[in-house]
Amino acid sequence: MAEKTEPAGKPPQPELVVITGLSGSGKGTVLKSFEDLGYYAVDNLPIDLIPTFAELTRDSPNITRAAVVVDVRGGGLARFPQMYRKLRRRIHTTLVFLEADEGALVRRYSETRRPHPLGSGRSVVRNIRRERRQLETVRKLADHIINTSKFNVHDLRALVKETFGVPGEQSRIVVYINSFGYRHGVPPDSDLVFDVRFLPNPNYVPEFRSLSGRHPRVARYIRSFPQTVEFIDRISELLIYLLPHYVREGKSYLTISFGCTGGHHRSVMIADEIRKRLKKAGYTVKTNHRDLKKPF
C-alpha cells in the first residue's frame, strides 16, 4: 500500500524522480513504468553523479523529465540525504521509496535465485534486515512510500501510471494500422490480422476498379452494405476494449492489419475508418496502405 498520498488535484509532474528502496522490491519495474510515461530512465546511477545528471537533463532540449534508480549497489547512501535536500531546492524532484515485507522479499529471492547485493556471506534474511537499517534515513525523506508485498508487475505499473501519469492522457501505446492484399502476402509484423474479403468487392464494379478505397465514391459504396457498418462497429468496440489490456501487459505499440484481395479497395477503406474510431478514442494511430500503389 502507498503510505503517502497525493493531495487533491494532482500537482505538476516532477522534472526528476529518484527511485530507491529495498533490493527485490520492484525498482526495475517502477523505472520501466516511468520510461513508458515518457521519462528518460537510468538505472543504478552513483549518488555523486545525480546532481550533474539532473542539470544535464534539465538543460537538454530533448529531455523534459527523468527518472533514476539509486540503491545499495551504487554505495554512498550515507551521503544521499544531504545531497537530496540540496537538489530538491533547485529542481522539482520526487523521491519514491519501495519496500516489501520480509517474507515477500525472501520468497522473491528464492524464486529468482539471484544473490542479494550486500553479498553472499550472510543469509538473505540478514541482508534484508541490514539493508532496511541502512535505508531508514532515506526512507524518511520519501514523498511516496510503496509496499509492494501484494503487488504483481501489472499492479505496480498501474499504480505508477495512476500516480504520475498526466490526468486525462491516454496511454502512450502507438497503434499501427495496415491495409494489404492477400495476393502479396500478410504483413509479417502484424499483431492482429482481420480478413475483410467477405465484404462486396468494388473491383467488380467497372467505374470503381481503377479507384482506391480512399476515393469518396468507393468508400460510400463499401459503406452502403449493412455488414460493413456492423463490422466497423464491432471491430472498433473490440479494439477499444483490448487496447487497455495490451497497455497493462506493457506493450508500447500494436500493429493491426486489414486484408482484402489486392489491397486497393476494402482493406484501405476499413483501415481508414478504424483509424478514425481509435483516434477519436484518444489513441495515437498511424496508417500504412502497403499495397495501394501496386498494379490492380
Write out pLDDT tens, residues 10-30. Answer: 445 668 999 999 999 999 999
Higher-pLDDT residue of 234, 154: 234
The pLDDT of residue 6: 40
In terms of domains, do 27 and 133 share one? yes
Nearest C-alpha neighbor of 41 from the set 32, 50, 52:
32
Per-residue pLDDT band at 186 (split at 50, 70, 90): very high
The answer to whether position 294 is within a domain reads no
The last residue of one of the domains, among 137, 164, 191, is 164
Domain ranges, residue 98: 16-164
Handedness of CA 177, 178, 182, 186 (dihedral sign): negative
In terms of domains, do 181 and 84 share one? no
Q: What is the pLDDT of residues 114-160, one digit of tens each?
A: 778 887 777 889 999 999 999 999 999 999 999 998 888 888 888 88
Residues 6+ apart with CB under 8 A from 74: 44, 45, 46, 47
In terms of domains, do 52 and 192 share one? no
In terms of domains, do 125 and 21 share one? yes
| Residue 62 CB neighbour total at 10 angstroms | 6
The answer to whether position 55 is within a domain reads yes
The last residue of one of the domains, among 131, 164, 197, is 164
In terms of domains, do 42 and 156 share one? yes
The answer to whether position 3 is within a domain reads no
In terms of domains, do 191 and 53 share one? no
In terms of domains, do 20 and 154 share one? yes
The answer to whether position 110 is within a domain reads yes
The last residue of one of the domains, among 138, 164, 190, is 164
Number of domains in the chain: 2
Distance CA 101, CA 106 (A): 9
In terms of domains, do 184 and 153 share one? no
The answer to whether position 11 is within a domain reads no
Stretch 156-166: mean pLDDT = 80
Q: What is the pLDDT of residues 102-112, one digit of tens each?
A: 999 999 888 87
Q: What angle in degrees, to the nearest 10, is found between the helix axes of 216-223 and 266-280? A: 80
The answer to whether position 1 is within a domain reads no
In terms of domains, do 73 and 208 share one? no
In terms of domains, do 60 and 89 share one? yes
Q: What is the pLDDT of residues 42-56, one digit of tens each?
A: 998 888 899 998 888
In terms of domains, do 153 and 204 share one? no
The answer to whether position 7 is within a domain reads no
H or E, element range at 187: none
The answer to whether position 265 is within a domain reads yes
The pLDDT of residue 155: 82
What percentage of residues in the chain have a pLDDT greater than 70?
Answer: 92
Stretch 161-167: mean pLDDT = 73
Q: What is the pLDDT of residues 243-295, one digit of tens each?
A: 988 887 767 789 999 999 999 999 999 999 999 999 999 998 999 999 999 98
In terms of domains, do 160 and 179 share one? no
Q: Locate cell 501505446: which residue?
A: 173
- The CATH number that applies at residue 57 is 3.40.50.300
The pLDDT of residue 7: 39
For the whole prediction, is pTM greater than 0.85?
Answer: no
Supply 273's cell numbers: 475508418
Range 146-164 burial, b when 16+ CB lie within 10 A, else e: bbbbebebeebbbbbbebb
